[in-house]
């Protein structure tokens, strides 16, 4: 067999392996999609108290929430006021003094009639993986509602449940995000692969510390 044919054959095998791997990762990430519900479909009457909602961080601009983050927080507020959750855990990036996602989320919640005692702040949720791990290890959450956009919900559910949380996901989309949706969909390709590798091969470092159980 000529070198050209060997190279072509090797390239085809590599491509097939790559496609099979991509399919497997995608199937894994979407394996918990049957746990996705719309806000109005959520039923937590049989859940043990306190019922916890986890709101994942996203961009803030000088303490103003981005559109995507505001919709996540608004969804949490609606569930809280409907009596479907008792505590709201806001988790996001606060790696510099000048940038604080969880603080901005907490202030928004309190300013919209959520009791400050029912708002729990996680200042070290710098990624979806870290938010889920810290919810379990620091705040001792066992069962939770994850609140985020449709483009992110599958990965969030996958990570949370693989890390030992029993979760369902509530979609926070309240509008058309235009080009932002396309960007998020593209971003999820790499983020999903990273999530799969983090769960099975390369767990990232997570800031842990004193336990602060949600009661």
CB 139 within 8 A of CB 214: yes
Helix (H/G/I), strand (E/B), else coil: 54: strand
CATH architecture of structural domain 31-200: 3-Layer(aba) Sandwich (3.40)
Tokens 């988790």 appear where? 91
Instruction: List the pLDDT tens digit at each of the 215 positions of the chain.
Output: 677 777 777 878 877 776 777 788 889 999 999 999 988 889 999 999 999 999 999 999 987 999 999 999 999 999 999 999 999 999 999 988 889 999 999 999 999 999 999 999 999 999 999 999 999 999 999 999 999 999 999 999 999 999 999 999 999 998 888 877 787 888 888 899 999 999 999 999 999 999 999 99
Residues 55 and 53: their CA atoms lie apart, in Å, by: 6
Tokens 């609140």 appear where? 147
Residues 166 and 143: their CA atoms lie apart, in Å, by: 5
Cβ neighbours for 4, distance < 8 A, ≥ 6 positions apart: none
């Amino acid at each position: 067999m000529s070198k050209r044919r060997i190279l072509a054959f090797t390239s085809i095998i590599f491509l097939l392996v790559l496609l099979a791997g991509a399919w497997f990762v995608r199937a894994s990430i979407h394996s918990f999609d049957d746990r996705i519900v719309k806000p109005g479909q959520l039923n937590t009457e049989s859940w043990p108290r306190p019922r916890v909602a986890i709101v994942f961080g996203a961009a803030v601009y000088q303490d103003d929430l981005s559109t995507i983050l505001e919709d996540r927080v608004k969804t949490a507020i609606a569930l809280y006021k409907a009596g479907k959750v008792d505590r709201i855990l806001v988790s996001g990036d606060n790696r510099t003094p000048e940038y604080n996602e969880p603080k901005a989320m907490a202030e928004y919640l309190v300013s919209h009639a959520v009791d400050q005692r029912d708002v729990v702040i996680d200042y070290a949720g710098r990624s979806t993986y870290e938010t889920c791990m810290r919810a379990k290890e620091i705040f001792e959450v066992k069962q939770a509602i994850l609140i985020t956009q449709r483009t992110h919900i599958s990965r969030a559910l996958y990570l949370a449940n693989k890390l030992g949380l029993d979760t369902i996901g509530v979609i926070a989309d309240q509008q058309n995000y235009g080009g932002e949706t396309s960007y998020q969909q593209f971003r999820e390709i790499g983020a999903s692969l990273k999530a799969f590798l983090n769960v099975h091969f390369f767990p990232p470092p997570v800031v842990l510390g004193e336990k602060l159980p949600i009661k």
